[in-house]
Amino acid sequence: MVPTASAPIGPIIGVPVSPTIDGYDFVSNHTIVSLTPTLAWSAPTLGKATEYYVQIYFISGPGLDGLWTFVTNGTSFVVPPGVLQPGNTYAFYIEAISDASLKANTAPFRIGTVHGDAGVMSGAITAAASGSRRRARPANSKSKHTRIKLGLSEEFAVQQ
């Protein structure tokens, strides 16, 4: 199918909405106390997610090293014990997937012909050492500065 004015190419899925980490703003840089934080989000406003990928990256110098990819059908995820280490800094990526042919339990990472994904990247999240206190503000607190949400991406798919 070739795109036309009446049938243009467009996104089939939007980004996860209002993501948080332990109830705190997901896209801001901050320190968390828990080594097993809960990531939570709302479903995209565009399209229907068939599943979500939660990716965790270790921030080392100027780059990111991919550590883990988890798959879930829900809109929250608890990081398992042993993944995060005290004093290290991480970035999290929550990706909404729209692909009716996906079957994560029997054929993970296999995609069909119509596939869409869109995600949101966290700020730099540092896992505090034991006994540290949280330095972030809750996501719903009043802030005197403007937050610019970076790291949003969308991919487009052509239906054939």
Tell me the two tokens of residue 146. Answer: 């403007």
pLDDT, tens only, 80-100: 999 999 999 999 999 999 876
Q: Quick one: pLDDT at residue 54?
A: 96
Closest CA to 157 of 16, 47, 70, 51: 47
| Measured distance CA(17)–CA(153) in Å, rounded | 13
Domain that holds residue 56: 17-132
Tell me the two tokens of residue 56. Answer: 């965790």
- The verdict on residue 158 lying in a domain is no
- The verdict on residue 9 lying in a domain is no
Q: Quick one: pLDDT at residue 141?
A: 39
The count of structural domains within the chain is: 1
- The verdict on residue 91 lying in a domain is yes
- The verdict on residue 144 lying in a domain is no
pLDDT, tens only, 64-75: 888 899 999 999
- The verdict on residue 138 lying in a domain is no
Q: Quick one: pLDDT at residue 4?
A: 84
Q: What are phi and psi of 82, to 5 degrees?
A: 90, -10
What does the DSSP 8-state code read for residue 131? Answer: T
| CATH at 62 | 2.60.40.10
Distance of CA 110 to the CA centre of its chain: 20
